Structure 1
Amino acid sequence: MDFTAGHFPVDLVLLGLIAAFLVVRLRGILGKQTGLQRPPVGQTAPGMPGRKPSAPVIDGRAEPAAAAERPLPDPTGPVGLRLARIRERDRSFDVASFIRGAEGAFRKIVQAFAEGDRTTLRANLTESAFNAFDAAISAREQAGETQRAEVRTILHADVVDAALNERAGLWLASIDVKFVSDQISLVLGRDGQPVSGADATTELADLWTFERLLDAAGSAAGPNWRLANARSA
């Protein structure tokens, strides 16, 4: 490449702009990379490491850590007191059991997304969340892309916030859970070549909001806890 006066390095500028675009795109994914990429497992797939936006993927074969090992919020702290309000409204609510169920939902939902299983997604997501996931699946299908993924472990599943609000005579309970997991995630294009991701384990952080409607008596007024929102943490 000629760097003499009068020769502007256009190719370098273009490469810089492309790199900046990819960085912004990858930072907006569902599940932000939080640590160093682990050593590749087997052959490392070519292509840009990272994940396609709104593409949580998980295989579901790895065993989750025991829920009893998960730290629970301080019952005297702000989050603990909000959880206590939910417990007052719903006597069947138990934080440890909720976390255990949330981990199972995390694996089930991201696997269903990777497989394009709309039936499972519709049963476990709120209507607005389902519409977002459905649109992402449709875009992937139209582009002829496929998802390959594997979750190695869920490192953390922490309740970071909770709320209980009245809505048209009902009570809406919501709980935010931060998941940190080791995953392998790869998106392949129509030609079988990598579009994003790599066959290497990466630590990702996701913040999911689960919701449940309760009636005035404290009983579930609708389906059990459902995913209402998912974003990178």
Structure 2
Amino acid sequence: MTVIVILAMIFALLALRLYSVLGKRTGHEQQMPAPVDDRPTVGVSTPRTTVDARPDAARVGEALMAPDAQNGIRQIIAADRNFDVTRFLTGARAAYGMILEAFWQGEKDRLRSLCDADVYGAFASAIDERLAAGHVLDNRLVRIDTARITEAAITGSTAQVTVQFEADIAAVTRDAEGGVIAGSLEDAIPTHEMWTFARDLRSRSPDWTLVATDEV
């Protein structure tokens, strides 16, 4: 009986000591990141905090935005306090995939809702030429490696933000019977593009529209 009591006391002391270590915050616990709104709208809101001077924070800032874009982003924040760089880029990534998929599938109505008249016209013409040739695109967006703001500005009430996308795309062109004309789904092709999104800051809609595309 005495042995059982002694063992029980030892167990209680060990348990107390274990709690004293694990039950306290040491200051090194990893904090859960705040949830990101990943809706496909590119309309987003931007940080109202100053840039952290720490090296790690600087590297994170450079990954999101080129130094030349910072002044333009500050102007957009001043005009729209709901703008957020991180959420904007999340939306831009989603829009990139949605627009590419709509173009590959020939979904003109979907493209019309995501692009301005000029960009939509270029996409629609390419789709018409593809259909006339009897070609079908069987493309896949494998991954987006980088989405980084390179330019930003306000003209009048319209904000424009240019995002550089670096992505891997598996591209195959097929004929009407499904035969492969060109490309391969097994070999992803690296792509480098600059897409510019615009939004009238007077609008209640948070949606941004694709107004220009360019290959790097």
Shift in CA distance, 223/129, structure 1 to aligned 2, threshold 3 Å: farther
1:103 equivalent in structure 2: 93
| Alignment deviations for residues 42-83 of structure 1 (CA, whole Å, 9 cap, x no partner) | xxxxxxxxxxxxxxxxxxxxxxxxxxx882226xx3311110
The Cα of 1:99 is off from its aligned counterpart by: 0.2
1:73 equivalent in structure 2: 65
Shift in CA distance, 223/138, structure 1 to aligned 2, threshold 3 Å: farther
How many angstroms apart in 2 are the aligned matches of 1:78 and 1:189?
45
Q: Which runs of 5+ in 1 are unaligned?
A: 1-68
2:210 equivalent in structure 1: 227
Structure with higher helix content: 2
Indicate if the aligned counterparts of 2:149 and 2:163 stay in contact, CA closer than 8 A. Answer: yes
The Cα of 1:221 is off from its aligned counterpart by: 6.0
TM-score between both structures, scaled by the size of structure 2: 0.67
Percent identical pairs in the alignment equals 27
Q: Which amino acid aligns with 2:64?
A: L
2:198 equivalent in structure 1: 211
Q: How does 1:156-171 map to 2 (within 5 A)?
A: 156-166=146-156, 171=157
Which segments of structure 1 move beyond 3 Å, counting only runs of 4 or more?
190-196
1:137 equivalent in structure 2: 127
Q: Which amino acid aligns with 2:169?
A: Q
Indicate if the aligned counterparts of 1:143 and 1:190 stay in contact, CA closer than 8 A. Answer: no
How many angstroms apart in 2 are the aligned matches of 1:159 and 1:140?
32
1:147 paired with 2:137, answer: yes
How many angstroms apart in 1 are the aligned matches of 2:87 and 2:160?
15
Q: CA RMSD in A?
A: 1.8
TM-score between both structures, scaled by the size of structure 1: 0.62
How many angstroms apart in 1 are the aligned matches of 2:207 and 2:95?
11
Indicate if the aligned counterparts of 2:64 and 2:147 stay in contact, CA closer than 8 A. Answer: no
SS in 1 for 2:138: strand
The Cα of 1:150 is off from its aligned counterpart by: 1.1
Corresponding pairs, count: 155
The Cα of 1:159 is off from its aligned counterpart by: 0.6
Higher Cα Rg, which structure: 2
How many angstroms apart in 2 are the aligned matches of 1:97 and 1:126?
22
Indicate if the aligned counterparts of 1:160 and 1:177 stay in contact, CA closer than 8 A. Answer: yes
Deviates more, 1:174-183 or 1:187-196: 187-196
